[in-house]
Amino acid sequence: MKISTAHQIFADRLKDQTALECPERFLGPNWKDVLNFWIYLDTLSREDFRLLNKRYYALDVDARVFARDNAFKAAEATIVHEYGNVAWLVTPTYASSHATLELIASHNLESSHATLELIASHNLESLKFLPLFLNL
């Protein structure tokens, strides 16, 4: 299994290398989607992250806060609170942090799609952060 930067940081911050070998115990049922997303983050350039930040801050503030809170609550309903807090902290931007939580909890959110490949063909109303990564 390829280990992304975020996945390694996740295990290091938990002080539990088991998170590398058995990520499903820490990231819940959508762990494969989370790990694939984290690997995808490693492929993004500085310019991609600049564009991502522009998209993130272009979202309506109230909608962004509501979506963030929704993602946190759904993630807490999916995995141990501590794991969710650490997962939120291991990615390079707010958008990627919140998208990670959306992926962790995608089965608890209105829409059940969770991977970048599926985003384009689904209704994205319940996911606000993951769609920001389209066409980077």
Q: Using CB atoms within 10 A of its CB, is residue 46 exposed (0-12), middle (13-18) or buried (19+)?
A: exposed
Range 120-134 average pLDDT:
71
Q: What is the pTM of this model?
A: 0.85
pLDDT value at position 9? Answer: 96
What is the CA 26 to chain-centroid distance, rounded?
A: 14
| 96-123 confidence digits (pLDDT tens) | 999 999 999 887 665 444 444 444 444 4
DSSP 107: T
pLDDT value at position 126? Answer: 66
User: For residue 127, what pLDDT band results from cuts at 50, 70 and 90?
Assistant: confident
| 68-88 confidence digits (pLDDT tens) | 988 888 888 888 888 888 998
pLDDT value at position 34? Answer: 95
Cβ neighbors of 122 (< 8 A, separation 6 or more) are 111, 113
User: For residue 125, what pLDDT band results from cuts at 50, 70 and 90?
Assistant: low
| 18-65 confidence digits (pLDDT tens) | 999 999 999 999 999 999 999 999 999 999 999 999 999 999 999 899
pLDDT value at position 8? Answer: 97
